[in-house]
Amino acid sequence: MTHTTAIETGQQLKIKRSFQVIGGFFRDKRVESNITQAELAKLLKFKSPQMISNWERGLCSPPLESIASMLHIFGLSKEEVMELILEENRRVLDE
Mean pLDDT for the stretch of residues 80-89: 94
Element (H, E) at 78: helix 78-94
Task: Give 14: exposed, middle or buried? Use CB within 10 Å, 0-12, 13-18, 19+.
Answer: middle
Percent of the chain residues past pLDDT 70, beyond the cut: 92
Mean confidence (pLDDT) of the chain: 90
pLDDT digits (tens, 9 = 90+) for 28-71: 999 999 999 999 999 999 999 999 999 999 999 999 999 999 99
pLDDT given at position 36: 98
Task: Give 22: exposed, middle or buried? Use CB within 10 Å, 0-12, 13-18, 19+.
Answer: buried
Query: What is the SS3 assignment for 9-66?
Result: HHHHHHHHHHHHHHHHHHHHHHHHCCCCHHHHHHHCCCCCCHHHHHHHCCCCCCCHHH
Region at 58 (left for phi over 0; alpha for psi -120 to 50; beta for the rest): left
